Amino acid sequence: MNIKIEAKNLVKIYGENTDKALELFNQGLSRSEIIQETGLTVGVANVNFEIAEGEIFVIIGLSGSGKSTLLRCINGLLMPTSGSLFVDDKAVEKLNEEELRKLRGEKISMVFQHFALLPNRTITDNVAFGLELRGTPLEERRKRAQEALVKVGLEEWKDKLPSELSGGMKQRVGLARALVMDSDILLMDEPFGALDALIRAEMQEELISLQREIKKTVVFVTHDLDEALRLGDRIAIMRDGAIEQVGTADEILSNPANEYVEKFLQGIDVSKILDANSISKWPREVIRETEGVSVALHRMKKADTDYLFVLGARNKLVGMILREDVLKLAKDKQTSIKDIIKETDSVQSNTIMRDVYPELRNAEKDLAVLDENGRFLGVITHSILLMTLDERKGGDGIAES
C-alpha cells in the first residue's frame, strides 16, 4: 500500500506564543483547561493517521471538532505547532515558499462548499482559471477544461455563465475546476453542504462513480454521518481536535471505539449507508455452466432449494436454473444444463440497501449481487435483509459481511 498522506503526532494550536499551551497540552490538560490558562485554542490534538493512494478518506465531526483545521494542515495553509504532516513522504511544514506553491498548484486541489465562480466568465473559462494562473496556453487550457466538464456531465453548458446554472451544477463546476488541474490529491471541505438533499445524494453518487475512473486520493470533510459512511473507504471521527476512531464504515458501525462514537452513531439510517455487497451472503450451493444435470440435482437436494445460480469463467454470473427444468432434462436423459439457463435478477455491489428493497421485492428469486465486471459476489434474500436491519438496530451483534 502506497501511503500518500501521513500525520504523525500532529498538534495545531491557534495564536501566538504557543509554547506554554503546547507544554500544558503535553502535560495532559484538556482543550478547555488550556483555553482558560492561556486563551489559546487547540485545533488539532496529537493526531495520527495514514491515507493510502487512491483512497477516499472522510473526516467527520461536529462544528469546532478540528476537521477543517486538519484539512488545511495537509496543504500547508496552516502549519503544525508540533508533529508533522507528510505528503509523498515530504514534511509539509519543512517546505519553503516555492515548494509550498508547487504543492498547492500541482499536487493538491481543493473543492469548497461555496462555489466562488467568476460571474462574467463562461463555465469553460471558470474551470480553466487555475490553468490560466499556472500559465497554460489558452487553447490547451480550454481543451482540458472541456474534457473535465465531460467528466462531470456539463459539456453542454460549457459556454453558459454561472448565473444560468443551478446549485448542483455550480458544484459540478467546482469539481471540474479541481479535476482540470490533474492533481494527485483532492481536498474537499463540506463540498455538498449547501445543496438540498436530492441534489446532494446525486453529487455523492457522482463522486463515487467519478472516483472509479480518476482514482485520486480524496480527503473529504463533512458533518453529515450518512454522507461519511456512504462515501468513505475509511472514516475518521473527530472531537475537540482529536481523532476518536478511524475505520471503515462497517468497522465503526460494528465496533464503536468508545461511548462518544457510539452516541455519535445513534439515529443513523443504515438503509442509506450499507450497500448490497456488505449484506450479501454466498449461497449454500452454485453450479458452473460446464457442469451437468446430475450435479445440479445433487446440489439442489443438498441445499434444499429449487434453483441454482449458474456461474461461468471468473465467477461471472450466467443466470439460474430451475429444478423443474432440470428434472425434464433428466427424464430425457440430457446431460447439459446450458439450454435451460434463465436470466436472473441482480444488483450492483455498491447499490445502497434502500435501493435494494424494490429490486428484491420484484425479483423472481433471491437477488444476485455483482461487481462492476459482472462477477457473482453472493445473494440477498428477504431474511438476510430483515436480519441485517434487526442486528444493526442494536441487537447482540452485527450481520457478517
Average pLDDT, stretch 339-346? 95
The answer to whether residue 400 is domain-embedded is no
Does the structure show a pLDDT above 50 at 224?
Answer: yes
Say how far apart CA 345 and CA 368 lie, in whole Å.
Answer: 6
Whole-number CA gyration radius for the chain: 26
Q: Taking all residues of the chain, what is their mean pLDDT, rounded to a whole number?
A: 88
Say how far apart CA 360 and CA 348 lie, in whole Å: 13
242 and 321 co-located in one domain: no
338 located within any domain: yes
- CATH number, domain with residue 302: 3.10.580.10
Does 290 map to a domain?
Answer: yes
Domain boundary among 241, 267, 293: 267
Terminal Cα-to-Cα distance of the chain (whole angstroms): 23
Residue 7 lies in a domain: yes
Residues 116, 263 share a domain: yes
Instruction: Kindly tell me if the per-residue pLDDT of 330 is higher than 80.
Output: yes
Residues 232 and 361 in one domain: no
pLDDT digits (tens, 9 = 90+) for 81-133: 999 999 999 999 999 999 998 898 889 998 877 667 888 999 999 999 988 88
- Let me know if residue 345 belongs to a domain: yes
Q: What type of residue sits at position 152?
A: V
- In the chain, the number of structural domains is 2
CA 200 to chain centre: 14
- In this structure, is residue 397 part of a structural domain? no
- In terms of residue numbers, what domain contains 353? 277-392
Does 371 lie in the same domain as 246?
no
Across 13-27, 245-259, 265-279, the highest mean pLDDT is recorded for: 13-27
